[in-house]
A and B are shown apart, each in its own frame.
Chain A
Amino acid sequence: MKWSQFFNTSIGKKLLVGATGLFLCSFVIVHLAGNFQLLYNDQGKAFNAYAAFMGHNSLIQFIAWGLKIVILLHAFIAIQLTFSNRAARPVKYAVSPGNQTSSWFSRQMAIMGSILFIFLIIHLANFWAKFHYGDMPTQTYAGFEEPLKDLYRVSQETFKQGWLVALYVIGMIGLSFHLIHGFKSACQTFGLNHKKYNGLINFIGVWLFGIAIPIGFAIIPVVIYFK
C-alpha cells in the first residue's frame, strides 16, 4: 500500500487525527506551564520575558506555525471523517440508545472540537494577533535592555471582562471532554490497549488531560477576574 493510499484509509486518517491530537496534547502541557507565570506577583516580568522569548526564537516560531498547521490538519481530517461517518448511516434510528452503550462525551468529539475551535479563534484574536500585529503596551524590567511587550497587562485587562472569562471556562470544559476521550482514543488508534498499561492511559487521559489541565487553564482567567 502506497503512503497516499495508506493515509486515505479510514484507519490511516484516524492515525493522522490521533497523531496530531497527541501532539496537541503535548502542546497544552507546555502552554499551561507558561501560562502559570501569569499568576506570579512580579508585574509580569517572568511572563513577558517568556512571551518575548517565544515570540522571537526562530525555532519556536517554526514550531508555532507547525502547530497551527497541525491544528488545521487535525480539524480538517476529523471533519472529513465526521461527514463520512454520518453518511454511513443515511437513515437514522427513531430511538437511539442514549448513554446506555457509550459515554456521552465519546460521541461528541466533533461538537467539543468545534467549541474548541471557536474558542481558539477568539483566543488567538485576543492575544496572539495583538501580540504580533496589534498595538501593545510595553514595560521595562530590570535586567532587560529593551522594553518588553506587556502581554501580561493585556491579559490582566482582558480577563476583567466577565463574559470572556465565562467563555474561557466553557472552552476549557470543551477541552476537558474532548481530551478525556481523545487521549485514550488516540492510544487505542495507535493500538495501545493492554491490560498492564490501560490503567496508566486512563489515569493520564482522565486526571491529567481531562481534569488537571483544563482546570489549570480555566483557573487563570478566574483568578485574574477576582483579583
Chain B
Amino acid sequence: MRVGVIRFPGSNCDRDVYHALKLVGAKPEYIWWDLEDLSYLDAVIIPGGFSYGDYLRAGAIAAITPVMDGVRELVKEEKPVLGICNGAQILAEVGLVPGVFTVNQYPKFNCKWTKLKVKTTRTPFTSLYKKDEIIRMPIAHAEGRYYTDNIQELWDNDQVVLQFYSENPNGSIDGITGVCDKSGLVCAVMPHPERASEAILGSDDGIKFFKGIIEYINRG
C-alpha cells in the first residue's frame, strides 16, 4: 500500500503526514514536485506548507508543476487524492475541486483548534466518521476562506466535506472548510488531520482520515 506524500519547495507538513500514514500501517513515500508518473502509487496526499512562498496566490505555482499532471492521471484511475491546507489550495487552483481558498476575512494567520462537522461520509477520507459527527482538528492558515460562485450546486452534489461548527474563523461561505470533487475521491480540507492524529497532540480525531484511505484501498 504505497501512499505518496508530495513535496514542493516550501512544504512543511510532509513529515507529519508521513508519520500519520505510518501510524495506520501504510507505506508512505516522499514524492518530489518534478515526478510525473505516479501510476505506481495507490493514493496521494498533498501536505500543507507554503509552496513557492505562496507567491502570486497560495498554491498557484505548485498547480502548474509536472507532479500535478501525475495527480490528474491518478484521479482518472480513481485513486484517492487528499489535499491538506496548502494542498487544498493547490487542488482548488488546479481545478480538481470547485471554488477557491482565499485570504481570510480577518486577514491574519489563524492557528487554532476548531470544531468541525463531517458533512459527507462518501469520501474515502471521511468514510469512518458518522455524518454530522463533530470532530476537533486545528487550522493554520492565512488564506483559507472558501469561496465558490455556485454554492447550491456544491450542496446538491454532496460535495461539502467539512464545515466549521459553532464559529466561522475565516469567513468561509456557509462555513465550508473541506470540499470534494463529484466522485468524492479528490478531497481538499483546510484543517490538519495529521496534527490531530494522536492523543498526545491534543486529539486523535483526524486519524480516521488516514485509516479511511487504507480501508478504501483494501476494499479494492
Say whether A and B bind each other.
no
Residues of A within 8 A of B (CB): none
